[in-house]
Amino acid sequence: MNQILTELEGGTPLSAVSQDLIILIDEPELHLHPALQAKLLDYFRKVVTTTATQFIIATHSPVLINEARVEELYMLLPTEPVVGFNQLVRATEDIDRYEALRLVCGDISFITQGKPTLLIEGRNPVELSKEPSDRRIIELICPDFQRCIIIPVGKKQRILEICKILSTPESQDAIGIRVFGVTDSDRPNKNLDIGIDRIFNWPSCMIENFLLEPVAINSILEAHREKTGLSDPQAIEVALRAIARNMRQAEIELRVAAKLEPFRWHPSGSSTQELKEKLEEAVGKLVGRFADELALKNIFSEATEEVDKILSEKKELQYFHGKNILKEFYKKHVSGKGVDFGYVSFCYAIAGELAKIPDVQAEFRTLLGHALHFVPLRLLNQLTEINRMVKDLKTWPTKESLARILEKAITLAQSAITERKQWRNPEASRKELKGLCIQVIQDIRQNASILPPETAGTLIKAAENLHRFALEIGVSTPI
């Protein structure tokens, strides 16, 4: 590299160059080991700090993207959404957001692909794993999910943490990074009560519940009827429901555990006596939590009623623990029967068959649609706030037309959010909403000068916030 740079300078060492120098490098990662790619950035930084040199690198390397600092990472956007301004934009302006994504996801390169990112529970597909991967199941059931980036990040809590950070009003990106969480519904999601609207819950207990589909299972086992004793989809459904109903007590226990807050105690103390005192204090708190016998009875009663209601409505295959049901079905009717399926292969084979069932496809495309056409709650709130402000204005040349635009935008945003909450296919036009938001922002910027400075400043600030939130529906910056 030193030799190349010296040649570029006509034989003069870089350190001796007095004028500014810009070096453009296309795909420097070619033919380089990943470890050397990381060191390459360190070398460039060293040169930049000691000479009047700037490097501009074009790369598709995940290694270089992950090694880049937040202030170094830019994206070259397509021309269509950025007419009228620079295509080269910072990948993110929010350092906390960037670092949170790096911490949780490990790999930050996905943000440069411009696709919605779904954080899901579980792990990536691993050879010889004893458990199927949620990601692989999703991709097999609905290949259209290739339009998203799916990243397994482990437990639900990690998903909630990152989505909470991304839901703060301060989070903003020139490219409108869209990151969502998809979680199982096996435990109450209390974090959703504090304003996180980036979390999707499966409309069943967990993704394995989709695999409890008698028609799909029958397609897999049809050639082995004599071995399994299951002659048709009806027989398979009866077997699945029998297993689920035998899990009634276990389901009650799961719901009781979910209603009781977990109790954690970390040993600490500088002496044996201090450790014992803290332990006694912790035990006292734990015992105190279970002192209210009436409250405990209510918890067990509510859990029992919930389970029995599910059974009476014959929804146990949807709302009971799908993973446990599927494992028990495999153990009882497939394993040891001479059927050439391991448990993981069995799950993936069912998922492949589900791709042929329209009702299942509709469920998954609903999730995909909301990820691709996401309308954030904070966008609706900002439109509502601006609408209130405009109504209070006494002088505004386009007040009536602006009010109509705002009302229509609010209606579209409300429809989109309602559809998401009710797990219905997104029908509200995000393209139309995008156009309405642009009209609102342009109208305010063009006419705010007629207002007193303080009022104009407040309204312009509201328009800027709307602009920032509208990035997620494709409104470019600047307008």
Statement: residue 200 has pLDDT above 60:
yes
Alpha helices by DSSP H, listed for 30-94, are 34-50, 62-67
Out of 187-196, 234-243, 402-411, pick the least confident: 187-196
Residue 182 DSSP symbol: E
Q: Would you tell me how many other CB atoms lie within 10 Å of the CB of residue 468?
A: 22
pLDDT at 218: 95
Contacts of 275 (CB under 8 A, 6+ apart): 267, 268, 269
Element (H, E) at 44: helix 34-50
> What angle (nearest 5°) sits at the alpha carbon of residue 474, between those of residues 473 and 477?
125
Asked whether the beta carbons of 150 and 139 are under 8 A apart, the reply is yes
CA angle 282–287–289, rounded 5-degree value:
100
**Which tokens belong to 440?**
């609102």
| Interval 252-274 mean pLDDT | 84
Are the C-beta atoms of 255 and 303 separated by less than 8 Å? yes
On the question of pLDDT at 84 being above 50, the answer is: no
Contact 254, 271 (CB under 8 A): no
Sheet holding 117-120, edge to edge: 149-152, 117-120, 179-183, 199-201
Of 4, 53, 59, nearest to 26 by C-alpha is 59
pLDDT the model gives residue 424: 84
Nearest to 74 by CA among 61, 62, 56: 56
For 180, the 3-state DSSP assignment is strand
Q: How far apart are CA 390 and CA 171, in angstroms?
A: 26
For 435, half-sphere exposure in the C-beta direction (CA atoms, 13 angstrom radius) is 4
3-state secondary structure of 381: helix
Helix axes 430-447, 453-470, angle to 10 degrees: 160
User: How far is 52 from 35, CA to CA, in rounded Å?
Assistant: 27
Look up residue 200 and give its amino acid. Answer: F
Burial of 23 (0-12, 13-18, 19+ CB in 10 A): middle
Instruction: Report the range of poorest mean pLDDT among 170-179, 194-203, 465-474.
Output: 170-179
| Coil/strand/helix, residue 454 | helix
Higher pLDDT, 159 or 188: 159
> How confident is the model over 220-231, as pLDDT tens digits?
999 888 888 898
Q: Are 53 and 6 in contact (CB under 8 A)?
A: no
Question: Contacts from 222-227 at CB under 8 Å and sequence distance 24+?
Answer: 224/337, 224/338, 224/339, 227/337, 227/338, 227/339
Residue 176: pLDDT above 70?
A: no
Burial class (CB in 10 A: 0-12, 13-18, 19+), 34: middle
CA atoms within a 13 Å half-sphere pointing along the CA-CB vector of 118:
26
Find, among 186, 172, 157, the residue nearest to 92 by Cα: 172
User: In this structure, which amino acid lies at residue 326?
Assistant: L
Backbone angles phi, psi at 158, to 5 degrees: -65, -35
**pLDDT at residue 324, as a whole number:** 95
The pLDDT of residue 386 is above 50 = yes
Beta pairing class for 117-120 and 199-201 = unpaired
Please provide the distance, in angstroms rounded to a whole number, between the alpha carbons at the two ends of the chain: 42
DSSP characters for 278-332? HHHHHHHHHHHHT--HHHHHHHHHHHHHHHHHHHHTT-HHHHS-HHHHHHHHHHH
Least confident window among 58-72, 111-125, 226-240: 111-125
- Could you report the per-residue pLDDT of 24-71, keeping only the tens digit for each? 999 988 888 888 888 888 888 888 888 888 899 888 888 888 888 877
Mean per-residue pLDDT, 180-186: 84
Query: Which class for 107: exposed (0-12), middle (13-18), buried (19 or more C-beta within 10 A)?
Result: middle
381-407 burial, b if ≥16 CB within 10 A, otherwise e? bbbeebbebbeeeeebeeeeebeebbe
% of the chain exceeding 70 in pLDDT: 81
d(CA 75, CA 175): 8
Say what the pLDDT of residue 60 is: 83
At 410, the pLDDT band (50, 70, 90 cuts) reads very high
Tokens matching residue 238: 């009866």
Distance CA 130, CA 375 (A): 38
What are the tokens at 438?
């642009």
